[in-house]
Chain A
């Protein structure tokens, strides 16, 4: 019976999105509820930062998994130089951070915590704080069967982040054959493919699965503090190569690019066209593409609606 259901599912899915270039998000995802609940609490806890002002949620708000600032603000209102990427659907990304520095979520969690202008904490201080807070200590012992510690903390937060999916966007429903897109949206979708955006923005997250260059045709300004591949590899060819950001919920996550230099979708589209295609988009094309991108807005993650314990 199960096998039959699987066959049907496979047949239907393979029909709906030929060659897997794009995939809808799953409606639900399996995760450990206890860990995620603990992770959620930690995600919202500003005391994980040095001065007790910055929680994960400061830069990854429940509205879009990111903030709407050009640059995120860390402890003591220090401004960074990077636009925060959304944490929504990040479990599907092959790497995390603009540079792809983190290979998985729990690895990623540690980075802002340590970053001196973000949360500026170290492992021992975190451990002290967690073990010194009875409710945390109790929860960690219950779930991990050992004293609260930094490693398990990142695991719990990662588990929470895994649950942050935004399913049932209009586009996903279209992919699943449940609805049809409006003509303008469809035009935008076709343009998305015709202009080659899909070359990099593909897969389940429409991005987040490869490293690509910004400014293939017309070079993009390079700055030494760019969070690009070069910052890791020091290879000149890696300058301005970033982990491709997801396009899901893109309408909600302005401003755009690693430097937050595009305040609107229109500006972002024009800039991408100029730098990577070498041409200006027509207003009609921009309108169609924006309409398409807006179909990528999904439902707010269920776990955020749940009451905190």
Chain B
């Protein structure tokens, strides 16, 4: 859902970005277009203006006798620059404007020729002007050199005047028709020159040279001027402008279409965004509703409409001194199995109803279904007139013997209640109390007490485990030997090796029953057995007694342990036959084949086999018979009361009879008093063992106490 939101936000940002992008793009493209178009157009217009100004300058240069060339040069430079700018303009580089660019290039080349022609015209014009200006000066000088009274001189002056007048006319009218007249005058002048000498002749010669200049240059001059004024350039420029206008119009059209498409795309994106927003809104609504429903479902049990376990947890936190009663229906499982789940559910619902009615109102209690057939009753014990146990009792008595109407059936239920006021572990401890109540027959309710807490036992076990582990590692696990007295030989012939853990340098000694359970749980019993066996073998090496060592069927059946045992026997071959394995009859005692195999193997080393604690409850005569055993040790539980318990005596006698027939020797354990000693002796046990004869000790006590 979070991912959905993120992706939706991303889409929204994207859409906005695209929209913004489109607007900026459109705006930029259009602005760029207008800027460029404006630039190009103004350049083209400037070009046109400059060209026409140039025309004006040319005309002025042609008409004025003297006139500055500077403006003309400036215009030429400006035109060249404008053209260069146009040729390099990025707009005209676009494929759309290729014809325009070609036209501008063409114009540029033509203009180069045109400006060259202007320079030539200026040179030509100046050479003509030079003469036109100077001829009147010559004319004046002629009047000082020639005599107006002299007919020849007068003709000469007249000729010069005619030439002067005709040049004036021709030049100002820009008319080459007069050149033929001038040509005639020139011939007359050439004829006249030889008639004069000195200054006159020199003047006429100079005059002739100027006339020649005019005659030679004038036609060229007028033609060049006409060409300059009517150059095709002047028609070309409007064409270029028109062409550009068309192309830029086309570009604008394309741009606006482009923009419209982008805009459409944007609107589409916007619509998409709206769609997503609406979808998201709807989804939000749905989710909120779902959340409310889920919360409701979480807080309330749908079947009983009581508070849920979740609701219980929340409520519990708000109570300063909470007390919880757990109410459990006895044998509810059978109701389900017998009547069916439907009736089971009906029962639970009806009970919920019932609970609401029966709970004492002064408790201000809230009711919960904690799961399955567990109901919870939660209240605060502060400010209550009675201790909680009082209400527990009351609750039970109100509940018992009431009939529950479940569907078509009327069912009488019985209950067990567990209660606790342990704030941190309220439910767990109440549950412990409930379990304790259940396992105590005839008890229907219990308030939590510290002893119920299995957690302490677990902690103890863990601690014990540490000790055992340490004991194994530090060699403080040692065998203690208890003498076994042979009644016939009247002396101690055997010892039973018993595992002990010596703590604090043997000042404290731990007995197996305090650690063997934990050790077995932790799969350490094999290691203990091996350790004891090894140490016993070492003792047996130097002491000519038999030693019985306890071994469990688990040790025998474990391939690793078994292998280790055999290895030990192998390495102590000389004293292995002093060993008696005492196999404990227990629940593990099932794989007879494995045990038979073990017995056969160890007997090869000369070991003997004893069955320990025979008659303690697991004994199976038939199976035992099949085992190749040597000794039978009768359960201490029977022996210790044999002097006054006739049942025990009967059992023991029977076992002894059985052992006698099976050919096994018998040992009585737990001979703790004179009375027991006498009794067992009388009953015919082969061997006796017990505190009356000797306690287990680190050293071998070969003398019996009595």
Contact = CB atoms under 8 A, between A and B. Distances in A.
A30 interface: no
A195 B131 CA distance: 9
Given A210-B119, A279-B206, A19 B64 contact: yes
Interface in A182-206: 193-196, 198-200, 202-204
Contact of B213 (A21, A210, A216): A216
A202 B68 contact: yes
Given A20-B68, A278-B206, A209 B130 contact: no
B126 A278 contact: no
B64 A211 contact: no
Nearest to B141: A279
Contacts of A94: 69-70, 73, 77
Given A23-B68, A193-B66, A202-B68, A213 B123 contact: yes
5 contacts: A199-B65, A200-B126, A210-B126, A212-B126, A277-B134
Nearest to A22: B68
A21 B66 contact: yes
Interface string A11-34: 000000001111100000000000
B69 A210 contact: yes
A218 interface: yes
Contacts of A202: 66-70
B133 interface: yes
Interface of A: 19-23, 92, 94, 193-196, 198-200, 202-204, 209-213, 216-218, 241, 276-279
Contact of B130 (A193, A199, A204, A218): A199
A213 B131 CA distance: 13
Contacts of B21: none
Nearest to A104: B77
B115 to A, nearest CB: 11
B127 A278 contact: no
B138 interface: yes
Interface residues of B, number: 30
A209 B57 CA distance: 14
Contacts, number: 95
B210 interface: yes
Given A94-B73, A198-B66, A204-B68, 16 more contacts: A20-B68, A21-B67, A92-B70, A196-B66, A202-B66, A202-B69, A203-B68, A203-B69, A209-B68, A209-B72, A209-B73, A211-B122, A216-B127, A277-B130, A278-B134, A278-B205
B180 interface: no
A216 B214 CA distance: 11
A123 to B, nearest CB: 24
Contacts of A278: 134, 205-206, 209-210
Interface string B203-230: 1011001100100000000000000000
Nearest to B132: A196
A210 B121 CA distance: 10
Contacts of B133: 194-196, 199
B71 to A, nearest CB: 7
Contacts of B70: 20, 23, 92, 94, 202-204, 209
Contacts of B69: 94, 202-203, 209-210
B129 interface: yes
B137 interface: yes
Q: Does more than half of chain B's interface fall in helix, strand or loop, or is it mixed? A: helix
A210 B125 CA distance: 11
Interface string B55-82: 0000000001111111111000100000
Contacts of B134: 195-196, 277-279
Interface of B: 64-73, 77, 119, 122-123, 126-127, 129-131, 133-134, 137-138, 141, 203, 205-206, 209-210, 213
Nearest to A192: B66
B145 to A, nearest CB: 12
Given A218-B209, A278-B209, A19 B123 contact: no
Contacts of B73: 94, 209
Contacts of A212: 122-123, 126-127
A208 to B, nearest CB: 9
B357 to A, nearest CB: 98
B584 to A, nearest CB: 102
Contacts of B64: 19, 21
A276 B206 CA distance: 10
A195 B137 contact: yes
Contacts of B122: 210-212
Nearest to A191: B137
Contacts of B138: 279
B213 A196 contact: no
A20 B209 CA distance: 31
A196 B119 contact: no
B620 to A, nearest CB: 110
Contacts of A199: 65-66, 126, 129-130, 133
Top 3 nearest A-B pairs (CB, nearest first) are A196-B133, A278-B206, A203-B70
B279 to A, nearest CB: 56
B502 to A, nearest CB: 94
A210 B130 CA distance: 14
A193 B133 CA distance: 9
A22 B129 CA distance: 17
A198 B127 CA distance: 12
Contacts of B131: 216-217
A216 B68 contact: no
B209 to A, nearest CB: 5
A213 B123 CA distance: 7
Q: Which of B65, B73, B123 has the most CB of A within 10 A?
A: B123
Given A20-B71, A211-B119, A277-B134, A217 B206 contact: yes
Contacts of B65: 196, 199
Contacts of A210: 69, 119, 122-123, 126
Contacts of A22: 68
A278 B68 CA distance: 24
Contact of A276 (B71, B123, B130, B141): B130
Nearest to B130: A196
B118 to A, nearest CB: 10
A199 B66 CA distance: 5
Q: Which of B65, B127, B130, B205 has the most CB of A within 10 A?
A: B130
